[in-house]
Structure 1
């Protein structure tokens, strides 16, 4: 019997090669996620390639959103950020095919892949091999890795400096190692995944332990997020699922933090 790197159909995370799929996806069998309504199911990258295509959409100067159509997994969205020191893939989607590889190489390839939290682990090993890229994941979330590889670097502490003053900042909250990417150029930008989730009104943000199961974070976690980003200067924030605040983002985050803390204190906000 041949080995396959099975992929959870619900969250899109790929696991170590095996003859048969795992019994459960640990990431989905967790309060922050969920097992699909039809029960645990598995697929492979080859099957995904046949059923899905990727969109690479320019959303800002030197910033491209990458997502699959029709939607797969939790409808993950990655971002390719072009910088003078090399390109960064922020977060990751599961589908990777020859067309995607060719287009990204035409944009300068990928020097590093940085992941906000385990819901974006996707097929990171496939992507790292295709582009000869390092993968940066916070060590606090190591136990959630479905597939390990020598290209994965587990960083520790509060910050990880990459290049051109670009850095990863561990905020915690959603996961112990949940992180954001800070890009200082122009007026500054944060790429937050859903560590800091942009709300549909595009004016505020939210912070949750579980988004699909609607479990809030305690005040201690909100204060940790606040302390981790308070000194960053930024005007834009690029959240998950195509939700972005393009101007005055820092003011929106500060307002949202204060509102959240007031509610937790029992204020009649």
Structure 2
């Protein structure tokens, strides 16, 4: 294990990788169903959407093997007791940090790395058996099928939970996919870990609530709630890279949805965290939604 906050760079294995031929988008890093380049679409549908982008040089595809040869790997860092971040080094994707929640009922991967190799699998397995995989939204699907199969247990591949409103974005359908709506307890026998779909960034955007080892409550928010650089505030966006905000009404709807949870800390999709030290993340989200609505609905126009 690493010290809190200190990433551990994993060494690359010398043997050929099982996943070398897996094709993924070179921008978002989402796995593709096609086994050969001629079976790929003209553009990645996720990147062609207004929340993402097609690079100026055009669509490009890559493989896990190409990324490995270019030096890609996985870094693992402890965010707090029983919560780990998985960060892809020298790979593809939009800089997201997947998470692993460690629990007595098995572990839950929340959002998925855009890379996989034997060393990475060994390290994640070392955190304990993986009982479920859940992406907060389609940008975070990563190579979820490969992770599900690589960490399979006696009952088969790890269940991959996909929001029903967003299932159409799957470019490769995992063998063990479970489509769900509303709310979900992804770890059998541990009702304290729960997921729900406040929507916003995507119609099926997911948050995961976990009590935390200290019982104070932790919310893994993906891109549903973004942490501002001034960490006294949060934001609510349809597109972060394209600067497209959600409406005030949707921001307030999301905050009201999250009121069902008790949470003192919130982690977004990247390195943003609210409530450390001192707690109070839920209060930050509520007042941020009100501020967002005031600006989006014109009540602050006198300052412009």
TM-score norm. by structure 1 comes to 0.94
8 Å CA contact 2:233–2:288 kept in 1: the answer is yes
Tell me what 2:237 maps to.
208
Secondary structure of the 1:49 match is helix
**How far apart are residue 114 of structure 1 and its match?**
0.9
Secondary structure of the 2:160 match is strand
Answer yes or no: is 1:137 the counterpart of 2:156: no
RMSD, aligned CA: 1.6
Of 16, 25, 44, the residue aligned with 2:44 is 25
Tell me what 2:285 maps to.
253
**How far apart are residue 71 of structure 1 and its match?**
4.9
8 Å CA contact 1:139–1:156 kept in 2: the answer is yes
Secondary structure of the 1:105 match is helix
CA 1:104–1:225: 2 relative to 1, 3 Å: same
8 Å CA contact 1:169–1:228 kept in 2: the answer is no
- Point out where structure 2 has 5 or more consecutive residues left out of the alignment: 1-20, 153-157
Superposed CA deviations along residues 192-218 of structure 1, whole A, max 9, x for unmatched, are: 111111112222111101111111112
Secondary structure of the 2:241 match is coil
Write the distance in 2 (CA, Å) between the matches of 1:74 and 1:134: 24
Structure 1 stretches of 4+ moved >4 Å: none
| Aligned counterparts, 1:223-262, within 5 A | 223-245=252-274, 246=276, 247-262=279-294
Tell me what 1:7 maps to.
24
Secondary structure of the 2:229 match is coil
Write the distance in 2 (CA, Å) between the matches of 1:195 and 1:109: 28
Write the distance in 1 (CA, Å) between the matches of 2:61 and 2:104: 39
Superposed CA deviations along residues 93-140 of structure 1, whole A, max 9, x for unmatched, are: 111111111111111031101110000011100000011211111110
Secondary structure of the 1:241 match is coil
Superposed CA deviations along residues 145-176 of structure 1, whole A, max 9, x for unmatched, are: 0101231111112x112342211110111000
Give the number of aligned pairs. 266
Write the distance in 2 (CA, Å) between the matches of 1:76 and 1:264: 27
Secondary structure of the 2:32 match is coil
Tell me what 1:79 maps to.
99
8 Å CA contact 1:172–1:224 kept in 2: the answer is no
Tell me what 2:224 maps to.
195
8 Å CA contact 2:144–2:174 kept in 1: the answer is no
Tell me what 1:160 maps to.
184
8 Å CA contact 2:87–2:96 kept in 1: the answer is yes
Write the distance in 2 (CA, Å) between the matches of 1:98 and 1:45: 12
Tell me what 2:127 maps to.
107
TM-score norm. by structure 2 comes to 0.84
Write the distance in 1 (CA, Å) between the matches of 2:143 and 2:174: 11
Of 132, 137, 151, the residue aligned with 1:117 is 137
**How far apart are residue 72 of structure 1 and its match?**
2.2
Tell me what 2:65 maps to.
46
Write the distance in 2 (CA, Å) between the matches of 1:72 and 1:202: 27
